[in-house]
């Protein structure tokens, strides 16, 4: 993708018109908000006027990003260290965020991780680790966030799933199972909350140009003898579009799902996959 095309994409993700702030006054919590897709989503929401709480396991990273968004978009942005697999920490972090910025109006359940192994080497520890961060972690955050949304009669929950929640990939059975579960959770809660003013949707990106994909490419290259660049190219070839998905493309879709105009959209698992699904 050319630099000019990427710049235009970023500008589109950040808002259609200068000064347009349709989410002004809304408090958005983004888990895994310090890098990659989570940071791109936080940027897009802040550009539309949302107050931000970034959650993640690396305090320095999320604090730095919060400072960037405050400066760039003139919004309140704070950081709360949180491991979404720790139920008590989730409750404490959401309470602390609410005390500073008010109850969450928007939750982006983005925190996740991917580990690969063939079936025979997928042990119980790997299985439970993938479910804990990709599925149970999202459930724990949603369960804490939704009551205040229901009481307010307005809320947006967007889970960041994957094409691995819509199809199977070899050597990532635990990850696929977790992401399929996340899509199922999204659809069930959308039906449960449909009459409350709270929408629940999932986005399902294909291979996206993030540090996660870069690390995966390096790991596979180390095992196969290829180069990381060759592995990234192999990932890109699985996308009919012919390239990796940009985080800003995911962010633009998520930001739209959070607007008032998207009130009629709930229970959707939206592929952002360049034709792969």
Per residue in 206-255, pLDDT tens?
999 887 777 777 777 777 788 888 888 888 888 999 999 999 999 999 99
Do residues 101 and 235 share a domain? no
Structural domain of residue 133, as residue ranges?
24-205+246-263
pLDDT of residue 3: 53
Between 210 and 16, the higher pLDDT residue: 210
Instruction: Kindly report each contact of residues 97-104 with a partner whose C-beta sits within 8 Å and lies 24 or more positions away, as own/partner.
Output: 97/27, 97/29, 97/53, 97/55, 98/148, 100/53, 101/27, 101/51, 101/53, 101/76, 102/27, 102/51, 103/27, 103/148, 103/149, 103/152, 104/27, 104/28, 104/29, 104/53, 104/145, 104/148, 104/149, 104/155
Residue 159 shares a structural domain with residue 176: yes
Report the C-alpha gap between 232 and 144 in whole angstroms.
Answer: 37
99 and 66, same structural domain? yes
Looking at the fold, whether 213 and 174 belong to one and the same domain comes out as no
Are 143 and 219 members of one domain? no
- Please indicate, yes or no, if residue 252 is contained in any of the structural domains: yes
In a domain, 119, yes or no: yes
Domain match, 225 and 107 both: no
**Residues of the chain above pLDDT 70, percent:** 93
Q: Are 119 and 178 within one domain?
A: yes
Nearest to 267 by CA among 188, 208, 165, 213: 188
Assess contact for 108 and 31: CB atoms under 8 A: yes
Same domain, 63 and 160: yes
Do 92 and 229 fall into the same domain? no
Residue 90 falls within a domain, yes or no?
yes
Enter the DSSP assignment of 245: B
> Looking at the predicted structure, is the pLDDT value of residue 87 above 80?
yes
User: Does some domain include residue 30?
Assistant: yes
Helices 137-152 and 87-101 meet at what angle, rounded to 10? 30
Shared domain check, 159 and 90: yes
CATH number at residue 171: 3.40.50.720
* Single pTM value for the model: 0.91
The answer to whether residue 4 scores a pLDDT higher than 90 is no
pLDDT bracket for residue 92 (50, 70, 90): very high
pLDDT level of residue 16 (50, 70, 90 thresholds): very low
The reply to whether 44 falls in a domain is: yes
**Is position 215 within any domain?**
yes
Q: Are 39 and 144 contained in the same domain?
A: yes
Number of domains in the chain: 2
- Domain membership of residue 251 (yes or no) is yes
Asked if the structure places residue 165 within a domain, the reply is yes
Catalytic site residues? 175
Averaged pLDDT, 127-151: 98
Same domain, 89 and 177: yes
């Amino acid at each position: 993708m050319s630099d000019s095309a990427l710049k235009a994409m970023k500008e589109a993700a950040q808002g259609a018109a200068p000064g347009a702030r349709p989410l002004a006054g809304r408090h958005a919590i983004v888990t895994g908000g310090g890098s990659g897709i989570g940071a791109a989503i936080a940027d897009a929401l802040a550009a539309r006027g949302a107050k931000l709480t970034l959650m993640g396991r690396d305090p320095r990273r999320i604090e730095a990003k919060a400072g960037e968004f405050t400066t760039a978009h003139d919004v309140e942005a704070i950081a709360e260290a949180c491991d979404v697999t720790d139920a008590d920490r989730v409750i404490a972090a959401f309470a602390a965020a609410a005390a500073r910025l008010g109850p969450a109006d928007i939750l982006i359940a983005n925190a996740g991780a991917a580990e690969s192994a063939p079936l025979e080497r997928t042990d119980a520890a790997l299985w439970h680790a993938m479910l804990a961060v990709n599925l149970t972690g999202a459930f724990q955050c949603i369960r804490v966030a939704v009551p205040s949304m229901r009481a307010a009669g307005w809320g947006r929950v967007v889970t960041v799933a994957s094409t691995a929640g819509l199809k199977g990939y070899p050597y990532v059975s635990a990850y696929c199972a977790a992401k399929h579960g996340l899509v199922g959770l999204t659809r069930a809660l959308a039906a449960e909350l449909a009459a409350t003013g709270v929408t629940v949707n999932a986005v399902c990106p294909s291979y996206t140009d993030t540090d996660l994909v870069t690390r995966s490419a390096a790991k596979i290259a180390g095992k196969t003898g290829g180069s990381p660049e060759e592995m990234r190219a192999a990932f890109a070839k699985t996308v009919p579009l012919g390239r990796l998905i940009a985080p800003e493309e995911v962010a633009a879709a998520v930001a739209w799902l959070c607007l008032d105009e998207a009130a009629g959209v709930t229970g959707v698992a939206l592929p952002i996959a360049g034709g792969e699904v």
